[in-house]
Structure 1
């Protein structure tokens, strides 16, 4: 009978600043792995008592190859952090960093997530519904502001709307370009 492989690439743990070494982030960087750190969770409430929980960070570590519990625990011990947990969904954990899918909990700012290495934080917050809603918003903005050139929309987004800018860079430039081209060339109705 073959032994089950319990190693995995993605792990998480909780770090309490009050018990971690002052240079905990530098120690983690020395591991030469991709990792992401949640905003400081200093507004979480204990459901039973209503008291604030101890301030903490949620941390996601992503290795290039599979690592065992013992290998990851050696890292968390150096940081005086909690024992590591396997991560089934890195996107789900990243969304939990700000309680995106838990409206009953305090909502932290997505911009306060720190990323070191190759972890797609922005992708964790994209859904097809939000993408389509954002395209509708861009179309309305173009109509309301008489924008007919893609560069005008692109420049506006680069300065004023990160979500739209990211969509234009990733996968929505074609549809918005076609929309604006059609606006420029449509024959006015009489």
Structure 2
């Protein structure tokens, strides 16, 4: 953080390059137990193939540390996104997902959701539908907007049909 200009995130926005910015990693520790210097991770996402030199230009403009070329190419964007909060590193401090900054149209929450996360969220949705007699898709949508906006990717896009069918089943059961 010391080397970055105060407006470094604005500089990234002006570049019109999609990226993800981790929460400030200020609780990371070295293998010796000493605290690491506070830092951010920035992951750029180019729509077209680009060169290492082009990526370096962006990082240089915000005075970021540029990793060696071999380490700079992200092999799995989803895994890198999950790393921003140490989701799969139980030996490291876990940072909050809501503290990740997304510049551009990257849907961070959807990107990071694992199959187990989706199953857990569907269980929550179905349980809420049971408990509050949400027996139509519009009722579930209204509930999601008012109480659980983190459900939006599941309710609005990914499992719309399954949730609608469950709601129909609840409606049918209530008429028996």
Q: Which has the higher helix share?
A: 2
The answer to whether structure 1 residue 72 and structure 2 residue 55 are counterparts is yes
**Which blocks of at least 5 consecutive residues in structure 2 are unaligned?**
none
Partner SS for 1:30:
helix
- Aligned partners of 1:38, 1:163: CA distance in 2, in Å? 19
**Which blocks of at least 5 consecutive residues in structure 1 are unaligned?**
1-16
The alpha-carbon deviation at position 34 of structure 1 amounts to: 1.1
- Aligned partners of 1:30, 1:164: CA distance in 2, in Å? 31
- TM-score normalized by the length of structure 2: 0.87
The alpha-carbon deviation at position 114 of structure 1 amounts to: 0.7
The answer to whether structure 1 residue 21 and structure 2 residue 21 are counterparts is no
Q: 1:29 to 1:143 in 2, by over 3 A?
A: closer
Q: Runs in 1 of length 4+ with deviation above 4 angstroms? A: none
- Aligned partners of 2:88, 2:104: CA distance in 1, in Å? 25
Asked whether the equivalents of residues 91 and 121 of structure 1 are also in contact (C-alpha less than 8 Å), the reply is: no
Larger Cα-atom Rg? 1
- Aligned partners of 1:123, 1:147: CA distance in 2, in Å? 24
Aligned equivalent of 2:88: 101
RMSD value, Cα: 1.8
Aligned equivalent of 1:34: 18
Residue of 93, 104, 114 corresponding to 1:117: 104
Cα deviation 1:67-123 (Å, max 9, x = unaligned): 222222222222221114111111111101111111221111101111111323122
